[in-house]
Amino acid sequence: MIDPVRFKRILIKILKLLIIIELISAFMEGLSNSQWARFGTDLVIAGILYITWERITALIRARKEHARRRVETAGQNLRVRDALIFSLLWSDEIMADIPNDRRRLVITAFTLIAAGLVLAFVEIGTGLMPLVVSGVVVLGGVNLLTWLVSLERVGKETLQTELRLAHAVQVSLMPKEQPVVEGYDVAGMSLPAHEVGGDLYDFSCLDNGRGELCVSVVDVSGKGMQAAMAAVFTSGALASEIRQSDSPSGILTRLNRAVFHHSRRGHFVAFLLGTITVRDRRFVYANAGQTKPLLRRGGTLQWLDGAGVHFPLGMREDTTYEQCVLDLQQGDILFLLTDGFTEAMNTARESYGTDHVELIAQHPDLDRLSAPEIINRLTEDVQRFGGEAPQHDDMTLVVIKVL
């Protein structure tokens, strides 16, 4: 059994070798007999073949992406012609995408189909016997391919079910409504990617008599149900730690130990935790590997550095986090966001970056917009920048506006 991609490459190499041998033979004949007509003819034919090959290759490059999009979006209206063009132009990539544990079965199916076609021209018995034998072998190959397709379909449906459940879990962890805080306009949003990650945000009122609102922005590493379950554990652990400590640094330090002991090695949780003291107008925060908060004050912007180490939760058991204190002023706007915003890409593989975030944050219209409207403004700009490119990571944002 031969890999179809390798078989195709072998045939191309053999064809090139035969052309070279023919040119050498014609050249040697010209040297010995002084008859150069054959060599000239072969050289012209070789040149035509080369130019034709280059044109076909360029045409394939131009048509490949278009053919793939037509097949992906056709659904039940898929035409045989489009399927044929796609399968021919993307043959190498299709074979490369087949999982290793299924590739041998695919090659076996193709081998049976090819053998069946060959047997149709071999004399086996009399009458219709050659066609019967050929049909049986081809049918065996086709049935094997059909079975493989059904297995992949079941696997895909299982994955889609898992992603839907993970999305439901992720949404259930986040607030159903925005908090009402005197003197502040606070809102949050999380936009999951197609492959559900572990982003979440939350608001909690601390029961310490000082009228503090606890704001958390979380990004769990990984995708799918695994990330969603890690987010569930982190959310529950946070609710428990908030009752035992009222400082962001203390909460993160204790939470880090819990995450370290209950998460798989190599899986971490980026966590920004802050408290708003309503009466004193202070924002106290600790940052464990999350994107720096962005402060807009007047006409200036500042990315707020954290204090101490910035390891994500779960990286080291003995990490002790420190916190920073920001005195808020009327008109201040705080942006707490995950890297899903700054790392969003367009079809040209260009990143949205912090520059685009700053352009939106500096816009004078933000002074008259509410926190939810500011979130919509930034989210719409990222989506406009991305265009048709898929969203690869969750985007989570909390905006705090001081009234």
Averaged pLDDT in 10-residue chunks for the chain of 403 residues: 64 81 81 78 83 79 76 73 74 70 77 80 72 80 76 68 68 80 90 72 75 86 71 80 80 88 77 88 91 91 88 87 92 92 88 92 90 94 88 88 92
Q: Which pLDDT score, from 0 to 100, does residue 381 have?
A: 93
Whether residues 277 and 184 share a domain: the answer is yes
Whether residues 274 and 337 share a domain: the answer is yes
Whether residues 256 and 113 share a domain: the answer is no
Q: Which pLDDT score, from 0 to 100, does residue 335 have?
A: 96
Give me the domain span that covers residue 65.
Answer: 1-97
Whether residues 304 and 388 share a domain: the answer is yes
Q: Which pLDDT score, from 0 to 100, does residue 215 have?
A: 92
Q: Which pLDDT score, from 0 to 100, does residue 225 have?
A: 67
| E-only strand ranges, 179-289 | 184-191, 198-206, 212-220, 269-277, 282-288
Q: Which pLDDT score, from 0 to 100, does residue 376 have?
A: 94
Whether residues 239 and 345 share a domain: the answer is yes
Q: Which pLDDT score, from 0 to 100, does residue 26 have?
A: 78
Whether residues 360 and 221 share a domain: the answer is yes
Q: Which pLDDT score, from 0 to 100, does residue 273 have?
A: 93
Whether residues 146 and 1 share a domain: the answer is no
User: Any residues with CB less than 8 A from the CB of 11 and at least 6 apart, and which?
Assistant: none
Whether residues 7 and 36 share a domain: the answer is yes
Q: Which pLDDT score, from 0 to 100, does residue 193 have?
A: 76
Beta bridge partners of 215: 203, 274
Q: Which pLDDT score, from 0 to 100, does residue 377 have?
A: 94
Kindly report the number of other CB atoms within 10 A of residue 117's CB atom.
Answer: 13
Q: Which pLDDT score, from 0 to 100, does residue 387 have?
A: 86
Pick from 142, 172, 202: which residue ends a domain? 172
Whether residues 17 and 84 share a domain: the answer is yes
Whether residues 199 and 131 share a domain: the answer is no
Whether residues 204 and 146 share a domain: the answer is no
Determine how β-strand 300-303 pairs with β-strand 198-206: unpaired
3-state class (DSSP) for residue 265: coil
Pick from 146, 172, 198: which residue ends a domain? 172
Number of structural domains the chain divides into:
3
Whether residues 234 and 357 share a domain: the answer is yes
